Structure 1
Amino acid sequence: MSVPQSLLAILDQGPCYGYQLRAEHDRRTGADQPLNVGQIYRTLERLERDGLVVRGEPDTQGHIYWSITPAGSSAVAEWFGSPAPRARAGREDVAAKVALAASLPGVDVDDVLAAQRRSSAAELARVREELGAAEQADALPRALVLAARRDALEAEVRWLDHAAQVLAQHPDHALAVALATQRPRRGRPPRP
């Protein structure tokens, strides 16, 4: 999630100071780890430079409240009106690791798949447990984030099972790819 955009969205509800923004961000996004306060202030300074927020004078306790500008409110509306970016195709780490293992002689792709499946299944069990607790505690933002993570992990486990089935049809690394003999030219892909 975009930290600048999420901070702007919170500020669109009213002025806040740094630690208050941190608490609101965590409460509203179901964040696993709190934002670093230094990151918040650096982000606020960039948003100020870009004309999206303004810094107020310190109050009697020394808190500096930040307020959103009309341009900032427009940026929030645009952000909420746009779909969230997805990972680029071909950039999924698990799939890329399995594909690489399957293409290299001497790598036991079954071991790679089994280790990843164990890890993914353990994480799925942990997330399901945490989701149950979040739902019982009526922690809606956290429950929504955990439900998305659960669904993604369930899909990952299904894909790992599918990959194991496909690769079982190609014993002894029939997919193994030898190193290319043609040297690529600098900055350009090799010609076929």
Structure 2
Amino acid sequence: MSIRHSLLALLQDRPRYGYQLRTEFEDRTGSSWPLNIGQVYTTLDRLERDGLVRKEGGDGGGHVIYSITESGRTEVGGWFASPVARTKPARNELAIKLALGLTLPGVDVGAIIQAQRSVSIKALQDHTKSRRDISAQQRPADTARLLVLDSLIFQTEAEVRWLDLCEARLMQLANPPR
């Protein structure tokens, strides 16, 4: 996830200070990816260094206000216009855990699959309930949150299906055809 571009995108609306950016990011993404406030300010420092944002002074309450520059607008415009690269898949801790578990003696991979399936199904139920709750009283501002929830639901459904496949392959290993 590009925190850099996310902060630039939020600054297109209006100038803000770091905590406002963090809160706005979490509100707009349904709090799916919490941001560390230190990460926000470190990113803002880098954006300022790169000429993509500038400090506008304080708000009188001790907060430094940042605004986007023309270079920043160009940068975030390019980010929105470009597809997300799929050249290098993200590391999947679960896939790594299962792959290593299969290659090491004494690891109960079936138990790992069952434990993960339970957690994944619970997450799927929680995401689905959140989606239903938001949809019941949907306002135009909720569309972004619903898109994020839909993404989480589809990812979790795919994970459960993949776990089913992993379990089926384990059964094939345990019971080879004669």
Check whether TM > 0.5: yes
The question of 1:146 aligning with 2:149 is answered yes
5+ long unaligned stretches in structure 1 = 175-192
Which residue does 1:7 correspond to in 2? 7
One-letter code aligned to 1:98: L
Distance 1:18 1:126, change over 3 A: same
Structure 1 runs of 4+ aligned residues shifted over 6 Å read none
Contact in 2 for aligned 1:134/1:140 (Cα 8 Å): no
Distance 2:30 2:173 in 1: 43
Larger radius of gyration: 1
Q: Deviations over 1:99-145 (max 9, x none)?
A: 22222232222222212211211221122112212222422222211
Which residue does 1:185 correspond to in 2? none
Which residue does 2:121 correspond to in 1? 121
One-letter code aligned to 1:123: A
| Secondary structure of 1:57 counterpart | strand
Query: 1:60: Cα distance to partner?
Result: 4.3
TM-score for the superposition, normalised by structure 2: 0.84
User: Which deviates more from structure 2 when the two are superposed, residues 81-90 or residues 105-114?
Assistant: 81-90
Distance 1:33 1:96, change over 3 A: closer
5+ long unaligned stretches in structure 2 = none
Percent identity reads 45
If each structure's helix is expressed as a fraction of its own residues, which one has the higher value? 2
User: Which deviates more from structure 2 when the two are superposed, residues 72-81 or residues 97-106?
Assistant: 97-106
Counterpart of 1:171 (choices 148, 164, 174) is: 174
Distance 1:108 1:38 in 2: 39
Which residue does 2:162 correspond to in 1? 159
